[in-house]
Amino acid sequence: MATALVTGGTSGIGLAFAGELAERGYDLVLAARDADRLAETAADLTDRFGRQVETFPVDLAVRSDVDRLVERLTDQQRPIEVLVNNAGFGLNTPLVGTDVELQDRAIEVMCRAVLVCSGAAAEAMRSRGRGMIINVSSLSAWIYKGNYSALKRWVLSYTQALALELARTGVQATVVCPSWVKTELHERAGVKRPRLPGWAWVEATEVARVALDTASRGKVVAIPGRGWRVAVWVLRHAPDALPRFFSRRISKSRSN
């Protein structure tokens, strides 16, 4: 039985990835900080899908924890076939006079851990001639919403480069850019959910399904939601004034 490892697999998008992967026949390794929640989630997934679920308590902002996770990712006796770098959090902090400690943590969790885990997993997968790495970015990568947009842009760009390096190795790297998803992220970050029409939100299960299907087809960028695929196409081809306009509108909707 193949095994998939999901970071942040206890809530929101990560939990949806875990469910979708279990449904597709994978055993799981779930990594997150809260050990009790990990155990509850593992028991629930085993109940629902009959898969083996290993729990891996880890704080991805702590480098020695990331090193432990790398050991698990590169254990050739217990190979990981799919890695989903999903763990992350919202950043509701200005850039001017910013909270540097929080920004450091965001960089560690959403960039450094992604870089280190992807690189190590890719090497192990390449030696076996197969595997899949999915990195969770955001639609924010195409607009300018503080350092969150900048970090998610990094995830997008990094995964594109990784996919090029892994071409013809049997290992697929894919980045998924969800729009807005109703998870714990906004509340945890103390951010008001933006006031958007219903169609603007996507379900976490759709994010996981689209990402896995896109990776299975050997494609690099996954954007859940037909409307959002069109929106990204427009953002990529329009003058820069357009993403700046949207960024201002979204900031305004949060401050109202």
Ligand X SMILES: NC(=O)c1ccc[n+]([C@@H]2O[C@H](COP(=O)([O-])OP(=O)(O)OC[C@H]3O[C@@H](n4cnc5c(N)ncnc54)[C@H](OP(=O)(O)O)[C@@H]3O)[C@@H](O)[C@H]2O)c1
CB of residue 114 to ligand X, shortest distance in Å? 9
By the rule CB under 6 A, 33 interacts with ligand X: yes
CB of residue 78 to ligand X, shortest distance in Å? 20
* Residues within window 83-142 making contact with ligand X, judged by CB under 6 A: 86-89, 109-110, 136, 138
Question: Quick one: 49 or 180, whose CB is closer to ligand X?
Answer: 180
Select from 57-65, 92-100, 123-131, 160-168 the region that touches ligand X (CB under 6 A).
Answer: 57-65
Select from 30-38, 160-168, 216-224, 236-244 the region that touches ligand X (CB under 6 A).
Answer: 30-38
Question: Which member of 4, 8, 19, 156 binds ligand X (CB under 6 A)?
Answer: 8
CB of residue 76 to ligand X, shortest distance in Å? 24
CB of residue 11 to ligand X, shortest distance in Å? 4
The number of beta carbons lying within 10 Å of the beta carbon of residue 242 is: 14
By the rule CB under 6 A, 19 interacts with ligand X: no
Select from 58-66, 75-83, 167-175, 232-240 the region that touches ligand X (CB under 6 A).
Answer: 58-66
Question: Quick one: 8 or 243, whose CB is closer to ligand X?
Answer: 8
Q: Buried b vs exposed e over 160-194: b needs ≥16 C-beta within 10 Å?
A: eebbeebeebebbbbbbbbbbbebebbeeeeeeeb
Q: How far apart are CA 107 and CA 209, in angstroms?
A: 27
By the rule CB under 6 A, 32 interacts with ligand X: yes
Check 26, 144, 148, 158 and give the catalytic one.
148
* Residues within window 135-174 making contact with ligand X, judged by CB under 6 A: 136, 138
By the rule CB under 6 A, 18 interacts with ligand X: no
144 is catalytic: no
Q: Which residues are catalytic?
A: 148
Under the rule (CB under 6 A), what is the footprint of ligand X? Answer: 7-8, 10-14, 32-34, 37, 58-61, 86-89, 109-110, 136, 138, 178, 180-181, 183-185, 188
